[in-house]
Structure 1
């Protein structure tokens, strides 16, 4: 599936991923390939991304924390997520 993370300042990430775990307002939840369409609010917490490889733009790279070669995290204050047709869009503060 494709993930796009956008902040008010810039597009932070766009690429192919295998899973994403998000801090929802009612608790953390994970999205995998072929997940049902969903729109949800996010609260302060950590977004966990698993992907075969990562390519960040130079400005966004310092915002992500590397866990290992296939896992990165991103701290957010709040946001919104939409999943539809194997594309995940995260609007994050």
Structure 2
């Protein structure tokens, strides 16, 4: 699957992932390959990106996510820097 994470300031991530967990407004949910199309609002929280054996965590400040045809697009309001 292809994941793109964008903020108003800059692109944050653009790459392939085997699974992605996002902080949905109704609770966190995981997206796997061939997931049904969905659009959801996001709360502040962690996006967990899994690619094979590695895992990356990006802390976002709200936003929306769209999943369609194995493409995940996250429009985040901002990123919480470490």
Q: Which residue of 2 aligns with 1:70?
A: 54
The reply to whether residue 20 of structure 1 matches residue 4 of structure 2 is no
The reply to whether residue 82 of structure 1 matches residue 71 of structure 2 is no
Could you tell me how far apart the structure 2 residues matched to 1:72 and 1:87 are? Answer: 18
Could you tell me how far apart the structure 1 residues matched to 2:44 and 2:32 are? Answer: 21
Cα shift at 1:51: 1.1
Deviations 1:36-75 (A, max 9, x none): 00000000111100014xxxxxxxxxxxxxxxx6101011
The reply to whether residue 41 of structure 1 matches residue 25 of structure 2 is no
Aligned length, in residue pairs:
77
Structure with greater proportional strand content? 2
Q: Which residue of 1 aligns with 2:5?
A: 5
* Uncovered stretches (5+) of structure 2, i.e. residues with no partner: 78-82
Could you tell me how far apart the structure 1 residues matched to 2:28 and 2:54 are? Answer: 20
Could you tell me how far apart the structure 2 residues matched to 1:91 and 1:51 are? Answer: 20
Cα shift at 1:8: 0.6
Deviant stretches of 4+, over 3 Å: none
